[in-house]
Every structure is written in structure tokens, then in C-alpha cells.
Structure 1
Amino acid sequence: MISIVSGLPRSGTSMMMSMLEAGRIPLLVDNCRKADASNPKGYYEFKRVKGLREGDAAWMPEARGKAVKIITALLYYLPHDYTYRIVIMRRTMSEILASQKKMLLIEGKCPDTVSDDELNRLYEKHLLQIKNWITNQPNIKYIEVNYNRCLVAPNTELQRLDEFFDKQLDVEEMISVIEPDLYRQRK
């Protein structure tokens, strides 16, 4: 079984990777992308996942028994000969959009090429398509975890997650790594 943390960019996937690590789940990360002002605790990424679209799955055996972060747009390219447990992070969409804009500004890029309303519509449509696709995959089970609730009521969200992980998580340790001070784009 390969555990995957997924979601839209800026939806809390790095926080979830940090929590799973604290909860005693090994991670597949390469630390190529260093911590910065947008993610002070790091990105918890494994660069080779970006090659899934082109068919690079040679690294998949290394992911067995571990958690790896893969954005939702790449889930369609997962090889069918593995079983997956996917945690999809959900966050208030206006906060995702604000966080993405802030990150683009920090990187010196123009964030206003598409309106928030249009991005909201496109992202919600994408997430619905992903959920419909996952539902039809016999080798995948998934759970949605709400980023916002993790910050205000982590016990409830993480007990659900612990059930999903067959009661193998250290929930108290997971709660201890949540840093509300990093919740900067509140709406």
C-alpha cells in the first residue's frame, strides 16, 4: 500500500505530510525544494512524482509503505498495479486562492491572470472530477481531510484519519506539530 497526500496547491498538503511523519508514517521525500517564506517548515516533496504524467513510475516500489505528496492533477497517472490510500486535503477555497496569490507575489510572478471566481469554478470542477475518478478505481481508497478543522478541532479530523490508517497513527504526536501561527491566509 502506498499512502498519498493530495490536494490543490496551498491546501495543507505539507502540513499533512508533517503530521503523518509525526504520526509514525515513513515519508518519501527528497528535500530538493527547500523551506522558504511560503512554507517555513518545508514542502515535503519528492521531485520524481512530476514525471508520472510522462510515465515515470520506476520509483513507485520505493513508495511502498510510505506517504508521498502528489497534487490532484497527477493522480490520474498512478500505475494501476499498486494499491493506494489517498488523503485529499480540503481548505476553504478563498484561502487557497489568497495563499496562491501571496506565493506568486513572493516569487515575483503576476497572480492576477485569471479571476478568483473563474479559478474557484475550475478548481471545484477539477476536485469533483478527481473524486468521481477515484470512486471508480478498485485499487484506491480515499478520505477528505479539512485543513481548517485540523487547526481548530484536530482531534475530530485526526481520529477519522486514524481510522482510515487502520489505527496505526500517533494522533497526539500529529496534533503536536500543528502550528496555527502558519495559518496566515484566513478568510
Structure 2
Amino acid sequence: MFDSTEITIVSGLPRSGTSLMMQMLDRGGIPALTDEIRTADTDNPQGYFEYERVKQTRDDPSWLDHADGKVVKMVSSLLYDLPTTHSCRVLFMRRDIDEILDSQEKMLTRLGRPAARREDIKQAFSVHLDRLLQWLPTQEHLQVLQVSYNDLFVSPNEEIGKVTRFLDRELDLPAMVDVIDPGLYRNRSSDISV
């Protein structure tokens, strides 16, 4: 049953679709907690939906006191910093790892920054995900649903249905589906067609 004091968190690896899910939930009826410091750009033309204070959660989790009933984005490595005093529902975005790496490499190239060795990053991400996905079920204050970025484009109604059932909230499903723009799915595995 929906609890208005509960916080919804969208998490995942960088470039895994967290901004897309934030936009979908915001349009669907859950207010996004953002500060709009990081603005839309070529890599995220609809915006990043970030809240800078999330990065300081370990030292100052007080922002959570103002997040009841809202959705906030948190990169996966910061989930460990969430205090057990707040109940959260976590939508954990999963995306083909090679698509994530392609997207990150293109973003770094546009920014004029070098990328680390692809295999090193892939290995680090795999270790991180394995550890995190073993830890999450042991956290009583966190309920987690894994959401496939790839499936949002292949079968959006089915994937959004899973999200709404998990959140146990009435959301504007057509508005959420309308957010999904196949034109923005630019770094796609060859075995995935939309």
C-alpha cells in the first residue's frame, strides 16, 4: 500500500537510464526532487534530474527529511550511504553493459576527456553490481525492483506496469509512455531492435 512518507529512489550505473526513469515518474505524477544545477545537454537532452545533496548523504542525510513522497536519483555506489531510518523503494535501472560503456565513451569524447580502458571499467562495474545486488536484499529499509532500460523500449507498457505495481501508486501511464523517445536510444546493442 502506498505510503506518502516513503521515498522513491531511481538508481543504477551511470548512463543506465536513470534520467529517463526520473522523467517518466515525474510526468507520471511523482514529484522529482532536483536542483536543476546540471542542465540538459547533448547527452541528456531532456535533463539529468539530479539533486547535488545526494552526493553528501553519508555526511549529511538531512535532505531525506524533505523527500517524502518524492522521487530522487542516486548513482548506485551511493545506495550504501542511505540511513536505515528512512524507508525507500528503489527502482534499479539495468542496461546492457556494452551500451552503457558506448554511451559513456561518447560522452567523454564530447567532453574532451579520456576514457579508461574499456575492459577495466567493464570488470569494475561487474564487481560493483555483483556486490551491490547481493547487499540490497539484506537491507530491510530498502525495497528494490530491477527495471530493464532495454525493455522500456521493446515493451514499455509491460515494464511500466511492473513499476506502478511495485510503487503501489496511481500514475499517469500514457504520460509515462510518452516520455520514451526511441530517437534517444542511440547506443543500442545490435541484438536489440525497437
TM-score normalized with structure 1 length: 0.95
In 2, Cα distance between the equivalents of 1:141 and 1:168? 18
SS of the equivalent of 1:37 reads: coil
Return the match for 1:172 from 171, 174, 180: 174
Q: In structure 2, what residue type is equivalent to 1:103?
A: M
Deviation at 1:170, TM superposition (A): 1.8
Matched residue, 1:130: 132
Following the alignment from structure 1 to structure 2, what is the Cα–Cα distance between the partners of residues 130 and 23?
28
Structure 2 unmatched runs, 5+ = 1-5, 190-194
Q: Quick one: which of 143, 150, 163 aligns to 1:148?
A: 150
Residue 186 of structure 1 deviates from its aligned partner by 1.2
Identical-pair percentage: 44
Q: Cα RMSD over matched residues?
A: 1.0
Deviation at 1:117, TM superposition (A): 2.5
Q: Name the structure 2 match of 1:13.
A: 18
Whether 2:43 is the aligned partner of 1:38: answer yes
Partners of 2:15 and 2:173 lie apart in 1 by: 23
Q: Give, in angstroms, the shift of residue 9 of structure 1.
A: 0.3
Question: What secondary structure does 2:62 align onto?
Answer: coil
- 1:95 corresponds to: 99
Q: Indicate the larger mover: 95-104 or 127-136.
A: 127-136
Q: Which amino acid aligns with 2:101?
A: L
The alignment status of 1:82 with 2:86, answered yes or no, reads: yes
Letter in 1 for 2:133: K
Worse-matched range after superposition: 149-158 or 165-174? 165-174
TM superposition score normalised by structure 2: 0.92
- One-letter amino acid matched to 1:39: N
In structure 2, C-alpha distance between the alignment counterparts of 1:85 and 1:152, rounded to whole Å: 24
Residue 146 of structure 1 and its aligned partner are, at CA, apart by 0.3
Counting matched residue pairs gives: 184
Match of residue 34, structure 2, among 12, 20, 29: 29
Letter in 1 for 2:72: V
Q: 1-side partners of 2:141 and 2:57: how far apart?
A: 17
Match of 2:192 in 1: none
Task: Give the aligned partner of residue 161 of structure 2.
Answer: 159
SS in 2 for 1:58: helix
Number of the residue aligned with 1:47:
52
2:53 and 2:133 map into 1 onto residues whose CA distance is 24
Off by >2 Å, runs of 4+ in structure 1: none
